[in-house]
Amino acid sequence: MSLLPILPPSLNEATLQQLTAGLTPQQLVWLSGYFYGQATGGAVGAGDSTATPAAAATSAAPAEKLTILYGSHTGNGKKVAEQAAEAAAARGLQAEVRDMNDYPGRQLAQEQNLLVIVSTHGEGEPPVSAEELHQFLGGPRAPKLPKLKFAVLALGDKSYLHFCQTGKDFDERLAALGATRLLDRVEADVAYKAPATQWVADVLAKLATNPAVTAGPSATAAAVVAEPLPAAQFSAENPWPAKVLESIQLNGRGSDKETHHIELDLTGSGLTYAPGDALAVRPRNHDPLVEEVLRAARLSDTAPVQLGAESLPLAAALASRRELTVLTRDVLERYAALAPHAELHGLLADTSRLQPYLYGRDVADLLLDFPTDQLTAQALTDTLRPLPTRAYSIASSLLAHPDEVHLTVGAVRYQAHGRQKQGVCSSLLADRVAVGDEVRVFVEHNEYFKLPKDPAADIIMVGAGTGIAPFRAFVEERAELGASGRNWLFFGNPHFTTDFLYQAEWQQHLKRGGLARLDVAFSRDQAAKVYVQDRLLERSRDVFGWLENGAQFYVCGDKSRLGHAVQSALAQVVQKEAGLSPEDAAAYVKNLKKQRRYLEDVY
């Protein structure tokens, strides 16, 4: 029996097979949805006497749409949104993925089913892409949403006090406006992939129980779903053992800083990266710190503990599986259940006291400050956070250094609360691995800290200290590509003679044209301290001219000391050169961020 009994003779099965040869399954679904839409929405009208009962029902009661909104700082939220849309399409659900940066808040009144995936930037702040929608929802113009069903996935980092605050804000505000939760909010720490995958499965299962949301073949569903992202071969669970090719201390004798240039071998890994991406390193706690924790806890290093299905000695678990150098609120909360100290409970109840306590203390400090006899090896292991990877901005271009990745690492060392402290990963790279040793790594892609797609576009780069790292990659990449856009670098550090990182390379780039301009600020080489933000103000006319000519502006370095200062200085530049009010100048800079022409990699 023919499957095409109603088509004209010129359009037979052989013809259709020829026309559709080579199309992907997603494209075939799109065509199916397109023709279905033509039949039910275009060819079949309300007054068409030939409409079938099924078509009439479809026209009268169209399937509900699923909107997936993401607000992302590095691109992780976007990845989850696209994966959710792909999973929704596989279930036959209509899905549309929208960036909060481009989403009009008033459209919420027309939504029926909404998934919100949003990160928190720093201490409770929304990412730039989510700022306007976040503000709109909290303001008087936000519409009532009694017909909306929603779920929120909040992405964050528990090392910050206001963990997942932006996600909490969206969740609570949508509920306050009358919307109904499909699921309780899920909050994911830096290891977000497993909880995000589970959240997607749970929320789609919930939606699938509502027949109004199912859609059959749908042009909308297939047209907006991105191609599936390729599975990462190497990840936090399966890092690549990269051999150390080179380790050089960049600072000169007598410097107060200790910065290391590390070169790692990627040969055979298949790992690729682009300038602006980061390399995540799997650290290991320093043995002396493990011993201090064991002494403070009064526990045996050989006491067995269970981590999932794996059993291992406590010392091994503390060395490679648990965070010891950083204290977070959730650790204190779990420990307080074991250690009934009034002072500890008082800290947890008073945010103004909690943050100063956490700053600069580690697990050994906590155990010494609030000792308890109730602690067992397993209880300690369960109380502490899993040891997360540390990410470093990549300081190289694959085009310039095939099969290699370079890092610029500042060794963290400090005295606090009567003990000498050091960064878990920076000290590993600086002190405990040598040329020929292996470091376990994988690439973390940062979608929003990238070179312009237009090679003729100009760029302004502002970095201090190790914030120089991605700009070394940027300039190398553009030099290899022969990009015609001009590159202007602002770099700051304490002293010219000891702290001018990659000085010879920058001089070569200036000579060869890879750098059009270089401005440096060595803060302690004169009586009055001079910083990169001061150089921006001194060069205000040219900086503004480059911006008006379409230049992209990049900032990398310490968020509290550099990020805010540079943003403020740039607003002053705009105010002076454009003759704007402070408010309008701030709006100009904010608009650069919305256009993704002002990009930050701050920490």
Average pLDDT over residues 282-298: 97
426 and 344, same domain (yes or no): no
What gap in Å lies between CA 114 and CA 195, rounded to an integer? 18
Last residue of a domain, one of 383, 412, 432: 383
CA-only gyration radius of the chain, Å:
28
3-state secondary structure of 80: helix
> Is residue 177 located within the same domain as residue 318?
no
In the chain, the amino acid numbered 244 is V
Calpha distance 280→407 (Å, rounded):
10
Which structural domain range is residue 162 located in?
Answer: 63-224
Q: Tell whether the torsion through CA atoms of 13, 14, 20 and 21 is positive or negative.
A: positive
In this structure, the answer to whether residues 161 and 263 fall within a common structural domain is: no
Pairing label, strands 413-416, 419-422: antiparallel
How far apart CA 184 and CA 295 sit, in angstroms, is: 41
**Stated length of the chain:** 603
Q: Flag the least confident range among 33-47, 122-136, 395-409, 520-534.
A: 33-47
Q: Is the pLDDT at 17 greater than 90, yes or no?
A: no
- Calculate what percentage of the chain has a pLDDT beyond 90: 78
| Count of the separate structural domains present in the chain | 4
The reply to whether 38 falls in a domain is no
Task: Kindly report, residue by residue over 493-541, the tens digit of the pLDDT.
Answer: 999 999 999 999 999 999 999 999 999 999 999 999 999 999 999 999 9
Q: What is the mean pLDDT of residues 131-140?
A: 94
The span from the CA of 26 to the CA of 30, in Å, is 6
Please tell me the predicted confidence (pLDDT) of residue 122. Answer: 74
**Token digits of residue 460:** 């302004």
Q: What is the mean pLDDT of the segment spanning 249-254? A: 96
* 393 and 299 assigned to the same domain: no
CATH of residue 507:
3.40.50.80
Can you tell me which residue has the tokens 């540390």? 390
Report d(CA 55, CA 137) in Å as an integer.
38
Half-sphere exposure of 267 (CA within 13 A, CB side): 7
- Greater confidence, 266 or 65? 266
Q: Dump strand ranges (E) for 387-432.
A: 390-393, 404-410, 413-416, 419-422
pLDDT, position 69: 98
Least confident of 54-58, 72-76, 280-284: 54-58
Q: Is residue 31 part of a domain?
A: no
Percent of the chain with pLDDT over 70: 86
Query: Would the pLDDT of 336 be above 70?
Result: yes
**Placement of tokens 């039949």 in the chain:** 39
Indicate if the pLDDT at residue 79 is higher than 90: yes
Question: Do 330 and 344 belong to one domain?
Answer: yes
Distance CA 138, CA 132 (A): 10
Per-residue tokens: 52: 């079938």
Looking at the fold, whether 341 and 401 belong to one and the same domain comes out as no
Does some domain include residue 173?
yes
What per-residue confidence (pLDDT) applies to 159?
79
User: Strand locations in 84-195, DSSP E?
Assistant: 95-99, 113-119, 149-155, 180-181, 186-188
Say if residues 555 and 562 touch (Cβ distance below 8 Å): yes
Reported as a single tens digit per residue, the pLDDT across 389-444 is 999 999 999 999 999 999 999 999 999 999 999 999 999 999 999 999 999 999 99
Report the amino acid identity of residue 524. R
Is residue 49 predicted with pLDDT exceeding 60?
A: no
Local confidence band at 93 (pLDDT 50, 70, 90 cut-offs): confident
CB neighbours of residue 514 within 10 Å:
19
Contact 212, 399 (CB under 8 A): no
* Sequence-distant (≥ 6) Cβ neighbours of residue 48 within 8 angstroms: none
Q: Could you say which of 383, 400, 415 is where a domain stops?
A: 383
User: Can you tell me the mean pLDDT for 475-504?
Assistant: 98
Whole-angstrom distance, CA of residue 11 vs CA of residue 17: 10
Residue 422's CATH number = 2.40.30.10
Q: What's the confidence (pLDDT) of residue 4? A: 42
User: Within 10 Å of residue 520's Cβ, how many Cβ atoms?
Assistant: 17
Question: Is the residue at 26 inside a domain?
Answer: no
Q: Is residue 58 part of a domain?
A: no
Q: Is residue 320, in this structure, part of any structural domain at all?
A: yes
The residues near 117 (Cβ < 8 Å, ≥ 6 apart) are: 68, 69, 70, 71, 72, 77, 80, 81, 84, 152, 153, 155, 196
Residue 559 is encoded by which pair of tokens?
A: 């968020």
Inside any domain, residue 32: no
DSSP codes joined into one string, 476-488: HHHHHHT--S-EE
Do both 277 and 395 map to the same domain? Answer: yes
pLDDT at 41: 40
* Low-confidence winner among 49-58, 303-312, 421-430 (lowest mean pLDDT): 49-58
Tell me the longest C-alpha to C-alpha distance in the chain.
Answer: 93
The pLDDT tens digits for 554-594 are 999 998 889 999 999 999 999 999 999 999 999 999 999 99
425/565 same-domain check: no
- Both 324 and 422 in one domain: the answer is no
With respect to residue 190, please indicate whether it lies within any of the assigned structural domains: yes
Average pLDDT of 2-28?
A: 48
Same domain flag for 249 and 341: no
Q: Which helix (H) or strand (E) holds 95?
A: strand 95-99
| C-alpha distance from residue 437 to each of 236, 350, 411 (Å) | 19, 45, 18
pTM for the predicted model, two decimal places: 0.82
**Measured CA distances, 82 to 75, 90, 131, 187, 415 (Å):** 11, 12, 21, 19, 45
Which of 353, 383, 413 is the C-terminal boundary of a domain? 383
Distance of CA 90 to the CA centre of its chain: 26
Residue 40: its pLDDT value, please?
36
**β partners of residue 152:** 116
Residue 127 has pLDDT above 60, yes or no: yes
Q: What is the mean pLDDT of the chain?
A: 88
Q: Using DSSP, state whether 151 is helix, strand or coil.
A: strand
**Lowest-pLDDT range of 18-27, 96-105, 114-123:** 18-27
Regarding whether 279 and 305 lie in a shared domain, the answer is no
pLDDT at residue 1, rounded to an integer: 39
Same domain for 178 and 124, yes or no, is yes
Q: Which residue has the higher pLDDT, 82 or 65?
A: 82
The partner residues of 598 in beta bridges, in order of sequence, read 553
Name the residue type at position 372.
T
Closest listed residue to residue 224, CA positions, set 386, 76, 353, 97: 97
